[in-house]
Structure 1
Amino acid sequence: MFKLTVCLLTFNSARLLHEVLPPLVTVADEFIVVDSGSTDKTLDICHDYGLTIHHHPYSMHGAQMRHATELSSYDWVLCMDSDEILDAETVEFILALKAGSEPEANHAWRISRYWHVLGEEVRTIYPVSSPDYPVRLFNRIQARFNDRPVDDKVEGNLQTAKIPGRVRHDTFYSLHEVFNKLNGYTTRLVKYQNIRPSIARGVISAIGAFFKWYLFSGAWRQGKVGAVTGLYATLYSFLKYFKAWYAHNTKQGAVMEKHTDSRQV
């Protein structure tokens, strides 16, 4: 038998918390909530469940998760986002796992995560297929979240297994949320990764994404939701190159202006 800390990240998460929290409370021996500045009823709901909230400014998802695991009293952690809902089969597996002997430190488990967009389950959401299987239950001494600006993951010398069941990832719940995340993700990607500044490359990438993530994936069969996921993939593929191009030219213009000013002096 071993103890498990649940680490949950929140930010204006009231929409789903009454579905997210009960299964997590069931498996938790300790519960760490790290909030990055919620202004809705998130904090009130967490207090209703008797949870202590730790406030921490958000930089990147991986850094936020690492902060949460550092607050844990136990080495074994289950790291979740506030739009991921465990089903009964997943909960039963985790409880049975905890009741057995403590695993080797290099063992880890992946959740079976099924993506929902605008309330409907989808087969793909750029750049992943659904379900995907991220590592979420692991020994914090052996592994940690990396610093990728988008699509971060747990890294370490691990032997992983898949948890049965279905974890509902109820993300992109409105059209506003789709475009908000599209803008945020592409901006972070350009800021922290070396993206080639090229509009032409962006156009080519967008065309390829449209065919791969809308036509070939079968997303077109899902009507308006498929159109949204196809558009998301297309715009994401274009914007990361366009924003890199824009930032590069803005920087070059500033350098030239500074050089011109210095010559005039």
Structure 2
Amino acid sequence: MTSITGIIITLNEQDNIEDAIASLRPVCDEIIVVDSKSQDATVALAEAAGARVIHQAYLGDGPQKAFAVPQASHDWILALDADERLDPDAVAAIRALPLDDAQTAYRFKRRNFAGRHWIRAAGFYPDPVTRLYNRTTSGYLPKKAHSSVQAPQVVDVDAHLSHFTYRDLSHWITRIDQLSSRDAWAMKERGVTPSALRPSVHALTAMLRKLILKGGILQGQDGMTVAMTTAFHAYMKYAKLNELYENERAGDNR
């Protein structure tokens, strides 16, 4: 089997990092963790699990995921988020891949969970994500939020990642708070300007997309939950962007 380097980015992921590393072990000869100043046991647990830890202050989603790539020992890169796991069918599929074409990256189906509940409604499944690529031709776009792999061609693999996104509904709301703050920072970094209308417009658009275009209105509680939380996330990231500019102006006027 062709050698693969697994890469995981972390910030306070002590509850996830061991399982993420363990899921990569069957297919990766090397695992690198890029940690952005975790305050918990993430680093110690990663090192104890056999990963090589590189310390790097957070650069944004795409740049952070790309940071360790030049330091990898192998050209084939398998990137996981800390709360993702390779399912057994993904392990089997990766072992069977020829990995003889550097132009090809591989995309997997992702199963998103809230606690033990698999959320399939309103576009939450199959939620395809490209995770395996060759660094000589492909890599993460330099987007600071919600980056993705750009490759000459992408092949869909009929196999799964499990994404343990939220411990429960309360954690879902907490994560929206965290991620919307990060998204607002990333938007400001790339020069998105404040707007009084954007929070409401983007929230309404997100809700209609999930309810109507993605069929959430016909998918019961899960469909409504996805629509409501997606709209809330959209609203908060633009509201927080406005807040960042307000705080900056207030600082300039002191």
Q: What TM bracket, shorter-length normalisation?
A: 0.7 to 0.9
**Structure 2 counterpart of 1:132, one-letter code:** D
Alignment-derived partner of residue 136 in structure 1: 131
> Residues of 2 paired with 1:73 and 1:186: CA distance?
35
Task: Map residues 42-81 of structure 1 onto 2, 5 A cutoff.
Answer: 42-81=42-81
1:171 equivalent to 2:165? Answer: yes
> Residues of 2 paired with 1:14 and 1:215: CA distance?
38
What SS is found at the alignment partner of 2:158? Answer: coil
Deviation, 1:237, is 2.8
Task: Map residues 87-236 of structure 1 onto 2, 5 A cutoff.
Answer: 87-97=87-97, 100=98, 102-123=99-120, 129-156=124-151, 158-173=152-167, 174=171, 175-195=173-193, 197-214=194-211, 217-218=215-216, 221=219, 223=221, 228-236=225-233
**Structure 2 counterpart of 1:180, one-letter code:** Q
Identity of aligned residues (%): 24
Q: Check the 8 A contact 2:21/2:51 in 1, yes or no.
A: no
Deviation, 1:109, is 0.6
Q: Which consecutive unaligned segments of at least 5 residues does structure 1 have?
A: 259-265
Q: Which consecutive unaligned segments of at least 5 residues does structure 2 have?
A: none
Alignment-derived partner of residue 29 in structure 1: 29
> Residues of 2 paired with 1:172 and 1:190: CA distance?
26
Alignment-derived partner of residue 263 in structure 1: none
Deviation, 1:84, is 0.6
Deviation, 1:63, is 0.9
- What's the RMSD between the two structures over aligned residues? 2.8
> Residues of 2 paired with 1:178 and 1:220: CA distance?
24
User: Aligned pairs, how many?
Assistant: 249
With structure 1 as the length reference, what TM-score do the two structures score?
A: 0.80
With structure 2 as the length reference, what TM-score do the two structures score?
A: 0.83
Deviation, 1:231, is 3.1
Q: Check the 8 A contact 2:63/2:143 in 1, yes or no.
A: no
The 3 A distance-change label for structure 1 pair 227 and 92 is same
Q: After superposition, give the CA deviation of every residue in 1:112-169 in whole Å (9 maximum; x if it has no partner).
A: 11222344222357xx64222222111101111112122101123x221122222111
Bigger radius of gyration: 1
> Residues of 2 paired with 1:203 and 1:7: CA distance?
37
> Residues of 2 paired with 1:92 and 1:152: CA distance?
27
The 3 A distance-change label for structure 1 pair 186 and 219 is farther
> Residues of 2 paired with 1:214 and 1:146: CA distance?
29
